[in-house]
Amino acid sequence: MKSQAISKNLLPKLSTSIIAISLFVLVACNETTATAEQAPAEAKENIQTATQTTEPVATKGATQSAENKEEKIILADASRANQTNATPAKQSAPKFIEGTHYFEIFPQINTDAPAGKVEVVELMWLGCPHCYHLEADVEKYEKNKADYIDFKKVPAMLNPSWSKDAETFYIAQLLDPQGKKGLIKKIFHAIHEQGRRLKNEGAVKRYFAQLGIPEGQYNATKNSMAYKAKLNRARQIGAASQISSVPSFIINGKYRTSPYTAGSEEKLFQLIDMLTKKEKK
């Protein structure tokens, strides 16, 4: 009987510990992969809620006293309470906190945006499943963005494999500058839907040939000054942004955020809108 009582007393503490550990793993995994199923503040709130279930219950006298006070307040304010219930409260816009949902970049990155424009850069990787998953929302944002926003994709080069994909990205971009052929979109689809391994130049050239790009045109593009300039600029932005995962977004060279840090993919674009409007002013 004694051992059973001890076990019952330990259960709430063990449950709380398990919940806390699970939330930590979830947040750490999301931070590593740059996904956002649960923001840090939400995780902290859940841990606090779980911890509160183990607190001791108040004494009977204190409870009755609190109830009496609460009853007087409710009776005195009954009419106001009825009015509140009759009209549903408006959902407030999310509040974004610097250092939690976005981070200021020091030193600030020089932008390539035309005068009067606010630059928004998506740092991405062609092989990233999270970037591919976000692509539909990015396309929607780019289509509906304000006129003063200069949006561009920049491939991140955090390792040699990513650097190779950045080369493929810029060859496709230079061969299809207006995106009318949809080369980058087709490459994205080939990697993530068809399982194409475009990791060596031979495989990339064969794939471009299937898209109607002859090898001579491919080689000429890769040897061009424009191609080399784009790769060098991408390296500069990636290093200066201080990112460690993708997709990440840089607003006007001053702020860095991601779906994870913003709290969700929906909040990400709300945050980008907030920061771009701030920079416009």
CA distance 271 to 263: 10
pLDDT of residue 54: 38
For the entire predicted model, the pTM comes to 0.69
Which uninterrupted H or E stretch holds 166? helix 160-175
Report, as an integer, the average pLDDT of 60-88. 47
| 131 close to 259: Cβ distance less than 8 angstroms | no
* Higher-confidence position of 76 and 222: 222
pLDDT for the residue 94: 82
Compute the distance between CA of residue 170 and CA of residue 177 in angstroms, rounded to an integer.
10
* 131-149: b (≥16 Cβ within 10 Å) or e: bbebbeebeebeeebeeeb
* pLDDT band with cut points at 50, 70 and 90 for residue 281: confident
Please report, for residues 12, 112, 134, 191, 195, the alpha-carbon distance to residue 129 in angstroms, rounded to integers and kept in the order given.
39, 28, 9, 9, 12
Instruction: Please choose, from the candidates 75, 267, 73, 238, the residue with its C-alpha nearest in 3D space to the C-alpha of residue 162.
Output: 238
Q: Which two tokens stand for residue 46?
A: 């859940």
Report residue 38: phi and psi, to 5°.
-150, 125
Residues of the chain with CATH 3.40.30.10: 103-280
Task: State both tokens at 78.
Answer: 């009954």
Q: Which of 80-89, 138-147, 182-191 has the lowest mean pLDDT?
A: 80-89
Q: 250, 33, 1, 221: which is closest to 149 by C-alpha? A: 250
CATH, domain range 103-280: 3.40.30.10
The residue among 108, 142, 95, 131 whose CA lies nearest residue 256 is 108
Mean pLDDT of the chain: 79
